[in-house]
Amino acid sequence: MKNKIILTMLLGVFLLGNILALECDGNNIGTFKPESNINLMQICDACTYVTLNSINYPNSTIVYINTNMTQSGVSYNYTFNTNVNGDYYYTVFGDKNGLISSEVFCFRVGDEFGYWFILIGTILAIIFFIASLITPEEFFVYISGIFFLIEGIYIMINGFSLVNDANTRMFAFIYLGIGILFTVGAYVFNLYSNSNNEEEEEYWKEVKKWNTQTTIIILKKIYLKIV
């Protein structure tokens, strides 16, 4: 059972890494700071021109540019500037080998701190949870829950790498739910364990008291018989 839980948690980390990563068939040109000049590039050694067709904004707005990109040898470039954080996609087309063909590229505007913060925090939370399965200690579950709570609050405020929408808020609620479950569960379990320990101590005190009294009575009876 423990092995299945561990494998499930590790699979969750793998899936989270894929969710946080920006993918567009290997055409990711990178991450850029807001309000910086971004060179939208395309390399084509069999084109006489390349046109920037459109740019998809993080809020799903599509802006049609339809402007030829600046050519320098086999490189084509269009300078873009934005202060809106999130994931962008742009579509280009050109006359590659005399045939019109198109391609999609992507890039991210924002900070990659959020990506690593969420990924590392999640890994630490899972490590502490696995430690709690190996070592029956509620402290590890509590620390794991704290990590999930911190991650959930961060995602709720900032989203993933400054991408904040309904999907990121859903993940935030999942993280917060796990965090509350782990922290409250560990706290209640600790109270229950302490209560049981106190009851056990009281029980053994009564047992010792009863044993002492019984021993005294037996000794008295033996003494009276001897006398």
Please report, in tens digits, the pLDDT of each residue of the chain (227 residues total): 444 444 444 444 444 444 445 556 568 888 888 888 999 999 999 999 999 999 999 888 999 999 999 999 999 999 999 888 778 999 999 999 989 999 999 988 876 666 677 778 888 888 888 887 777 677 788 888 888 888 888 888 777 655 666 777 888 888 888 888 888 877 777 666 655 555 555 544 554 454 455 445 545 554 454 55
For position 5, what pLDDT does the model report? 42
| Residue 128 token pair | 């502490």
Q: Backbone phi, then psi, for 164, in 5-degree steps?
A: -125, 110
Contact 39, 79 (CB under 8 A): yes
For position 112, what pLDDT does the model report? 64
User: pTM of the prediction?
Assistant: 0.51
Is 22 in a helix, a strand, or coil?
Answer: coil
Q: How far apart are CA 183 and CA 210, in angstroms?
A: 40
Angle among Cα 17, 21, 27 to the nearest 5 degrees reads 145
Q: How far apart are CA 206 and CA 23, in angstroms?
A: 68
Contact 107, 84 (CB under 8 A): no
What CATH code is assigned to 23-109?
2.60.40.10
For position 79, what pLDDT does the model report? 95
Strand ranges for 60-131 from DSSP E: 62-68, 70-72, 75-80, 86-96, 99-109
| Residue 33 token pair | 């700071």
For position 101, what pLDDT does the model report? 92
For position 65, what pLDDT does the model report? 94
Q: Which residue has the tokens 């005294």?
A: 216
